[in-house]
């Protein structure tokens, strides 16, 4: 079974609208972390936001927020007021085990295109 599932291969969104990118995960480890990265066409991996499994509140970073629903094992990324520069691949990833301990498992990604 896939550990990280991103069900939206591609999305088209109008500029200034809010965007929700879906991510579900599968782990039996009580300690884990969830990450979102943005990869523009230039190829670099840009860290957006992190949520730890024991964090009580949903993470937020500027226009990015993470809708963490632990019981449903989902960690959706919400981008408010989308901009043309948000067009990119977005990857959800998970670290299993204690913080600082391990590499990441990535989902297949969602290709987001913001239309003017």
Least distance (Å) between residue 17 CB and another protein = 26
Longest Cα–Cα distance of the chain, Å, equals 42
Rank residues 8 and 81 by Cβ distance to another protein and give the closer one: 8
Rank residues 18 and 97 by Cβ distance to another protein and give the closer one: 97
Rank residues 48 and 114 by Cβ distance to another protein and give the closer one: 48
Q: Determine the Cα–Cα distance for residues 2 and 44; give it in Å rounded to an integer.
A: 24
Least distance (Å) between residue 50 CB and another protein = 5
- Pair 38, 48: CB distance under 8 Å: yes
Torsion of CA 68, 83, 62, 106, to 10 degrees: 40
- Binding residues vs another protein (CB under 8 A): 33, 35, 37, 43-45, 47, 50, 52, 91, 93, 95, 99-100, 102-109
């Amino acid at each position: 079974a896939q550990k990280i599932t991103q069900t939206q291969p591609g999305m088209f969104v109008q500029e200034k609208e809010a965007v929700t990118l879906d991510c579900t995960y599968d782990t039996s480890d009580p300690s884990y972390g969830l990450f979102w990265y943005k990869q523009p066409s230039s190829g670099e991996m840009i860290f957006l936001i992190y949520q730890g499994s024991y964090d009580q509140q949903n993470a937020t970073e500027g226009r990015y927020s993470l809708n963490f629903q632990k019981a449903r094992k989902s960690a959706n990324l919400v981008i408010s007021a989308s901009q043309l520069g948000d067009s990119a691949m977005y990857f959800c990833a998970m670290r299993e085990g204690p913080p600082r301990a391990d590499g990441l498992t990535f989902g297949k990604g969602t290709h987001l295109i913001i239309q003017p």
